[in-house]
């Protein structure tokens, strides 16, 4: 199992990294690194975990992370079952990849502010086609063309309207590369993501992390900033939000599909986390509901 810190290996003929992934499912563990990272999800969907928050992710979205931002993408079993390949384009670069003073120039002010904001993690749900096209173009470019395309991409990202952006978290704590217990967190998060529709129990989670129940509870709350039960509810309600956009799925079906066996309890948890009932949420989405 890999540790949470990921050391980047820069190509000798480029000052930044561009990677393209075609996989049956995303396999990178919960990790962070010293670089900025821009990710375009070309094809895939599932759950995203970043800095103690769980969100849905879908194809067509763009994510931007600053140095030290811990994150991981988990494909849902329903996506893996389709047999389609998860596809993403990833760009990684350090703050000084064009020189220590480059982003201090007056013309770079907006881009510098945007890069600073990525410390909280940024999600762009409905990016312009031009943004997506630049990600696809940069895969095949070299030399000055690749640098100019990346700067163009950063310029467009820095000009995105607020209604297109959402922050993953409101605070950021830098992770340390020598964090020895990060492997445990990866194992636990994967267990929850893979099994949240089932009857999860804290004893099982503690056992796979090789901790007794009391030690596990202390460890998990310290790392996740919430209890195991609260985190499981976050994952389930996040999944419910995705399912509620499906007109063919009733609210009671959503309840059971998310791992709940009591509709009243599901409604209470949804209201606690989202601030409204599933019925109200679906109505606001202007969807037909049952």
- Residue range 27-55, pLDDT digits in tens: 888 888 889 999 999 999 999 998 888 99
- Domain 182-284 classified CATH 1.10.540.10? no
- CA dist 232 and 196 (Å) reads 7
Summarised one tens digit per residue, pLDDT across range 86-118 is 999 999 999 999 998 999 999 999 999 999 999
Answer for the pair 45, 59: CB distance below 8 angstroms, yes or no: yes
Mean pLDDT, the chain, whole residue set: 88
Summarised one tens digit per residue, pLDDT across range 187-204 is 899 899 999 999 888 999
Burial class (CB in 10 A: 0-12, 13-18, 19+), 118: buried
- CA dist 146 and 134 (Å) reads 10
Average pLDDT over residues 237-256: 89
Structural domain boundaries in the chain: 17-167, 182-284
- CA dist 20 and 81 (Å) reads 22
- CA dist 113 and 118 (Å) reads 9
In the chain, pLDDT over 70 holds for what percent of residues? 89
pTM recorded for the entire structure: 0.85
Closest CA to 123 of 172, 164, 177: 164
Predicted pLDDT at 186: 85
DSSP letters spanning 29-94? -SBB-SSEEEEEEEE--EEEEETTEEEEE-TT-EEEE-TT--EEEEE-HHHHHHTPPEEEEEEEE-
Q: 32 or 212: which carries more pLDDT confidence?
A: 212
Q: How confident is the model at residue 178 (pLDDT cuts 50, 70, 90)?
A: very low
pLDDT at residue 12 tops 90: no
Closest CA to 97 of 9, 38, 17, 7: 17
Q: Look at the domain 17-167 and name its fold.
A: Jelly Rolls (2.60.120)
- CA dist 234 and 251 (Å) reads 17
Distances (CA, A) of 212 to 128, 184, 192, 201: 49, 13, 18, 13
What are the residues facing 36 on neighbouring strands?
93
Specify the 3-state DSSP secondary structure of 174.
Answer: coil
């Amino acid at each position: 199992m890999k540790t949470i810190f990921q050391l980047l290996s820069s190509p000798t003929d480029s000052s930044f990294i561009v990677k393209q992934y075609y996989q049956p499912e995303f396999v990178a563990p919960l990790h962070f690194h010293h670089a900025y990272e821009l990710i375009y999800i070309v094809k895939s969907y599932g759950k995203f975990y970043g800095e103690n928050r769980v969100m849905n992710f879908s194809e067509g979205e763009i994510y931007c992370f600053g140095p030290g931002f811990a994150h991981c993408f988990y494909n849902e079993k329903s996506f893996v079952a389709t047999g389609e390949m998860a596809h993403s384009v990833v760009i990684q670069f350090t703050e000084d990849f064009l020189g220590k003073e480059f982003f201090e120039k007056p013309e770079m002010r907006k881009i510098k502010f945007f890069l600073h904001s990525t410390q909280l993690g940024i999600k762009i749900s409905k990016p312009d086609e031009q943004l997506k096209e630049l990600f696809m173009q940069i895969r095949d470019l070299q030399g000055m063309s690749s640098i100019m395309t990346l700067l163009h991409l950063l310029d467009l990202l820095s000009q995105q309207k607020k209604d297109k952006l959402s922050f993953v978290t409101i605070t950021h704590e830098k992770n340390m590369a020598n964090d020895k217990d990060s492997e445990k967190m990866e194992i636990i998060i994967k267990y929850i993501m893979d099994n949240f529709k089932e009857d999860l129990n804290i004893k099982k989670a503690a056992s796979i992390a090789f901790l007794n129940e009391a030690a596990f509870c202390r460890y998990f709350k310290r790392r996740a900033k919430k209890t195991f039960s609260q985190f499981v509810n976050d994952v389930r309600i996040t999944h419910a939000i995705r399912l509620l956009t499906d007109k063919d799925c009733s609210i009671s079906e959503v309840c059971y599909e998310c791992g709940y066996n009591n509709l009243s309890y599901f409604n209470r948890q949804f209201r606690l986390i989202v601030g409204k009932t599933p019925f109200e949420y679906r109505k606001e989405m202007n969807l037909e509901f049952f």
